[in-house]
Amino acid sequence: MLPPAWQTVTLFNPVVYLISVFRWSFYGISDVNVALSLGMILGFLLLCILAVGWIFKTGYRLKS
């Protein structure tokens, strides 16, 4: 239902992939390929874990 430009922008939102996998698990259909959705979810998870690890390692904005 979105214009093509906005469809491309929504693919950068990790929630789109989560909803797509939930939709597939309940109804057997999804907007985005299930394998791509799972890959993107794992990719975003890895990115978040690396960011948290860096914050813990460097003590980013830790007051002493």
Domain ranges of the chain: 4-58
- Show the DSSP H helices in 1-64 as ranges: 4-10, 14-27, 34-58
Q: CA neighbours within 13 Å on the CB side: how many for 42?
A: 6
Query: What is the pTM for the complete model shown?
Result: 0.78
Rounded average pLDDT per 10-residue block, the chain, 64 residues: 91 93 94 93 96 93 76
Q: What is the pLDDT of residue 64?
A: 67
